[in-house]
Amino acid sequence: MRIVLLGPPGSGKGTQGEQIEKQYAFPRISSGDLLRAAVQEKTPLGRQAEAFMNRGELVSDELVVDMIRERIAAPDCRQGYILDGFPRTLPQAERLSGIDQGRRELVFDILVPDEAIIRRLSARRICSGCGAIHSFHSGGSSDAATCAACGGRLIQRDDDRPEVIKHRLEVYHAQTAPLQEFYRNRSVYHRIEGLGTVEDVFQRVKDVLETYSSELKH
Ligand code: AMP
């Protein structure tokens, strides 16, 4: 099975991907995480991607498709995998449909209004130690707060600054939203209401996944 998580930045793709990974043991492949790791390690891919990412723009289709193709070929993806943040453009979706043909593909489009996304992303902090996602407002904590899980320092992603968030949303509407039509025409497309608690949203995802229970590991 291949699970594709669509939806704007900040809609909860990463969080829901983690829930699916935990429950069904498919690896979650986040194009954003892979790119951030490449930037950190200063690989040739990371050097090319960094400026685009900091501006909230998309990295070239060619680079991202090659990166994902290679990741999907790893042995842990044999049973299935979750794509989080890929594809993000029509050319990427077209290229993906030619990879791993014949595998069951489900698309979850997690939908959240722009105003809620701006609030969520402005409040998002990432643990520099374990990568856990926190909300600055939810704990009423200060900017200097540390991670409840590991004590690591919480930092704001460069592209979660307000001016970049706005641009990421414009990029989403222009380049990624057209994928809704692409996938709707392939009848594997499920709209998921993304407002509510993590558990509420995951229940909506599970309701769909459980209709394919014979293809899932629990
Ligand atoms: P994310 O963590 O998914 O919000 O991605 C962070 C940034 O990585 C995006 O704003 C893009 O610059 C880049 N990125 C992630 N996934 C893709 C993709 N599928 N295509 C192009 N750029 C991507």
Quick: pLDDT tens for 160-177: 998 899 999 999 999 999
* pLDDT value of residue 140: 45
Mean pLDDT to the nearest integer, 208-215: 90
Instruction: List, for residues 28-53, the tens digit of each pLDDT value.
Output: 999 999 999 999 999 999 999 999 99
* pLDDT value of residue 143: 53
10 lines ligand 1 (CB under 6 A): no
pTM: 0.92
Q: How many CB atoms lie within 10 A of CB 44?
A: 9
* pLDDT value of residue 216: 81
Mean pLDDT to the nearest integer, 122-141: 77
Instruction: List, for residues 66-89, the tens digit of each pLDDT value.
Output: 999 999 999 999 999 999 999 999
Nearest alpha-carbon partner for 56 in 136, 139, 188, 166: 166
* pLDDT value of residue 144: 53
Virtual torsion, Cα 38, 42, 45, 49, nearest 10 deg: 80
32 lines ligand 1 (CB under 6 A): yes
Give the Cα separation of 142 and 134 in Å (integer). 12
> With 70 as the cut, is the pLDDT of residue 137 above it?
no
> With 50 as the cut, is the pLDDT of residue 139 above it?
no
Rounded distance from Cα 197 to ligand 1 centre (Å):
24
Name the closest-CA residue to atom 12, ligand 1: 53
Share of the chain above pLDDT 70, in %: 95
Nearest alpha-carbon partner for 117 in 7, 1, 9, 3: 9
186 band by pLDDT with thresholds 50, 70 and 90: confident
- 3-class state of residue 208 by DSSP: helix
Structural domains in the chain, sorted by start: 2-26+79-215 (3.40.50.300)
Catalytic (active-site) positions: 13, 88, 124, 157, 168
Average pLDDT of every residue of the chain: 92
